[in-house]
Amino acid sequence: MIKELLEENEKIIYQSMVNVFKSGNIPQTLLLAGPSNPLKKEAAVFLAQSIIEDHNDLACEECERCQRIKAGNYYDVYLIAGEGKILKDDIERLLEEFHQTALERDGKKVFVIYDIDTANPKAANMILKSIEEPMPGNYWIFTSDREDAVLPTIASRCLIWRFHRPNIAFLQKKYAENSYNMNDAYILARLFHEYRPFDIHDKAYVLAKEMLERTVDSMSRKGSLEMFFINEWYPLAKKEADVFNKSQDYYLDMMIILLHDAIKDNQDYDEWYADLLKQIKAYDLYKMTNIFYEIKDLANTNAERRLLFDRLAYSLDKMEERK
């Protein structure tokens, strides 16, 4: 239930929503802003449900109307998903509905526009004209991850609720709910700090996870990480340079995450990840973390990637277990 998620993760916004709907004085333009947060778009739909229900309270999320709104089957709730640029044609189609009589018995219409900051100037100005003097019973709900890119004259007419960056536990749960296994759900939450659909069979990602495992395994077995790089990773640089570079970026981030988690040592993890942590703890974690941060910083310059990873492999192959 979105209501519970809001109450747990965005307490101030949740209480403000409660107060607004109890007062019965619901603004006709709302903007859900702040850093990327999957809860923001879900909250936009929840607000549409609450406006349509009109019980001087937040939506129940269970009745027929709420279910239809969530499924996108409620005639008087209109959504623009904001995938790519929002163009003039998108808004023109929306405004055709804006000027029609509401079809449902509630007599209200709710227009939800995700990522309002992606609207081009013509589209943004058309929206502005519609909200300057909103028709009774018409409501606009916008979301944006970049409030500074929203047309100021639109933002100034909105009640703005600013969401926080979601915590890792929330994001991990979100990934898990979308059929990612617990290891991938955790890694993706830590890598991206947001929920985004991601192909876990992506070649660069798969290779980075393999490198993570082989790094820890090579150190614990005293194998040569440098030889593994030379035989299995470097040949990819000539065949698929983009995959090679992306896999290195993922790998460096994954190793830094693993090392930070090993230092904290205060959380339960899935078996595969827990085993990696157990093995890596045999080494000087702070020294290793500094090595990976140094390589990551250099990788963000024009430094020769292969030379950097030769240097990394050499440093790790020399590391001794802590006594």
Query: Sheet containing 29-33: which strands, arranged edge to edge?
Result: 77-80, 109-113, 138-143, 29-33, 159-162
Which range scores top for mean pLDDT: 211-220, 221-230, 248-257, 306-315? 248-257
The confidence score (pLDDT) of residue 244 equals 85
The proportion of the chain whose per-residue pLDDT surpasses 90, expressed as a percent, equals 54
The confidence score (pLDDT) of residue 222 equals 65
C-alpha to C-alpha distance for 135 and 80, rounded to whole angstroms:
19
Counts of helices then strands in the chain (DSSP H, E): 16, 5
Q: How does pLDDT run across 162-200, given as a tens digit for each residue?
A: 999 888 988 999 999 999 999 999 999 999 988 888 999
The proportion of the chain whose per-residue pLDDT surpasses 70, expressed as a percent, equals 96
Q: Is the pLDDT of residue 320 over 80?
A: no
Q: How does pLDDT run across 20-78, given as a tens digit for each residue?
A: 999 989 999 999 999 988 899 999 999 999 999 877 899 999 999 999 999 999 989 99
Give the tokens for residue 56: 């001087």
CA angle 98, 158, 103 (to 5 degrees): 25
Q: Is the pLDDT of residue 323 over 50?
A: no
Residues 23 and 58: beta-carbon distance below 8 Å = no
The confidence score (pLDDT) of residue 223 equals 63
Q: Which region among 2-6, 7-11, 65-69, 312-316 has the lowest average model confidence (pLDDT)?
A: 312-316
Q: Is the pLDDT of residue 266 over 70?
A: no
Q: Which domains does the chain have, with CATH numbers?
A: 2-166 (3.40.50.300), 201-318 (no CATH)
